[in-house]
Structure 1
Amino acid sequence: MHATAGAGHEDRLRPLPYAPTAVLFDLDGTLVDSAPAILTALELAFTELDLPRQTPAELMRFVGPPLVDGFRLHAGLTGAANAEAVATYRRHYRDTMLDSPLYEGVTELVRALRAAEVPLAVATSKHERYACEILEHAGLLSCFSVVSGAAAGDLGGRKAQVIHAAIERLAQAGVDVSRPVHVGDLDHDVAGAQAEGIDCIGALWGYGNPEVLRGAVALAATPAEVAKLLGMEV
């Protein structure tokens, strides 16, 4: 029985009806609280480019999806203007990105899964090199067999693409990828996982909520609850 948002606490945390052969994690809003660093870089980019000011709530729309989509959908920028905005943001983000603390309980969850020899990957729309640097700074990079993110120019950064690439790279490393599961905090995590034919556990400690995460196979309020859904204790 899959857990649902409306179920009682114990039913909601009933383990998945299968043992995942690999676990994929989103990065922003799931492993690390990156919003403050991202919003600071966005505000600096908007000021430098003389773009109309957006509130912090409006800027939160940029957190998660590829940047090219964010600047197109939420700032109306296309073509060269879009590319300039992305480059300007990234220049400022280089100075702020390591100010992204791990969420409480994430280290324990990741290390417990690693100790149990569960293959782990990160699937993020963030630039892959930046994701690796953030994980290295947080002391968790070595726990992940694969870090899958966007390439230069935001190529391949859509959620379904990075999930597909993560699974493909795990398979190339000899991992059984017959039943992977993704853990993420936003609707594009759920949609990306569904597009690849896998389940998504909704991370409620991130930037989403039950409404945003409808369609997730289960919802977890804390990393420890993810462990319970995976049939583990941390």
Structure 2
Amino acid sequence: METPIVIFDLDGTLTDSAPLIMESINYALEKIGKPRETPADLPRWVGPPLAVSFRDFAFVPETGIADAIAAYRENYGKYMFDVPLFEGVIPMLDALKAAGVPMAIATSKVERLARPIVTEVGLGDYFSYVCGAKDDGAHHTKTDLIKEVLDYFASRGYSTAEAYMVGDRIYDIEGGNENSVNTIGVGWAGTDETEFSKATYIAPTPADLVKIVLKGA
């Protein structure tokens, strides 16, 4: 049996960061002179790359996206180390680590912020690699990020035949499917499960995810 590899999304999967993300979105929209999003519309902003969201949801022109993202990060940066973990995340990671499962993170969050957040919220010892969007201005898709993680493990001699991508949004599922890995939609973040229609599995709780990865162990 191949050793499984598990790649996690960060926001909405490990950290319950949606409230801070949504607060920071409205902070940024106000700062650039755009209308605030309603509570009903804000959840769609959690998951996609910021540049895509500002363009598609707030109709910010390409010339204004950098200012919008800077305003978002101005607010987000004040509180980013205070985001809580979802209940059950630490026991889940402990169980996978004890079973010798290599783990990594693939997040649309810019990597230079993702790495210190992972450390500060107490997750640093669990992950071999943290992959996020780069500061070169490119729009890195979740597909690209997952491929980077798979390449990282392959370059170190790991088989990626039994890899899993775990996330709370359709982008995680699509990115995993495009890389031909198993996908797990997480049920603990409140995502509409229609987003998981093409997932290999759905894990209602972190404990269920452990059972899926370890085949019922």
TM-score tier, shorter chain, comes to over 0.9
Instruction: Provide, for residues 109-158 of structure 1, a one-character-per-residue CA deviation record: whole Å limited to 9, x for no partner.
Output: 11221121111010111111221122111111121001111001553531
Aligned to 2:7: 24
Task: Note if 1:85 corresponds to 2:65.
Answer: no
Q: 1:134 to 1:228 in 2, by over 3 A?
A: same
Gaps of 5+ in 2: none
Task: Note if 1:169 corresponds to 2:152.
Answer: yes
**CA RMSD between the two structures:** 1.7
Instruction: Provide, for residues 133-188 of structure 1, a one-character-per-residue CA deviation record: whole Å limited to 9, x for no partner.
Output: 22111111121001111001553531101100111112223322222111111111
Task: Note if 1:106 corresponds to 2:89.
Answer: yes
Aligned to 2:133: 150
Q: Percent identity?
A: 38
- Partners of 2:85 and 2:41 in 1: how far apart? 24
Aligned to 2:103: 120
Aligned to 1:188: 171
Aligned to 1:48: 31
- Asked whether the equivalents of residues 5 and 103 of structure 2 are also in contact (C-alpha less than 8 Å), the reply is yes
- Partners of 2:109 and 2:30 in 1: how far apart? 22
Letter in 2 for 1:184: G
Instruction: Provide, for residues 19-59 of structure 1, a one-character-per-residue CA deviation record: whole Å limited to 9, x for no partner.
Output: 55201111111101011111121121112112112112212
Q: Please report how far the alpha carbon of residue 80 of structure 1 lies from its aligned counterpart in structure 2 after TM superposition.
A: 1.5
- Partners of 2:85 and 2:11 in 1: how far apart? 10
> What is the TM-score when the length of structure 2 is the normalising length?
0.93
Gaps of 5+ in 1: 1-17
- Asked whether the equivalents of residues 23 and 182 of structure 1 are also in contact (C-alpha less than 8 Å), the reply is yes
Q: Which runs of structure 1 show a deviation greater than 6 angstroms over 4 or more consecutive aligned residues?
A: none
Q: Please report how far the alpha carbon of residue 207 of structure 1 lies from its aligned counterpart in structure 2 after TM superposition.
A: 4.2
Count residues with an aligned counterpart: 217
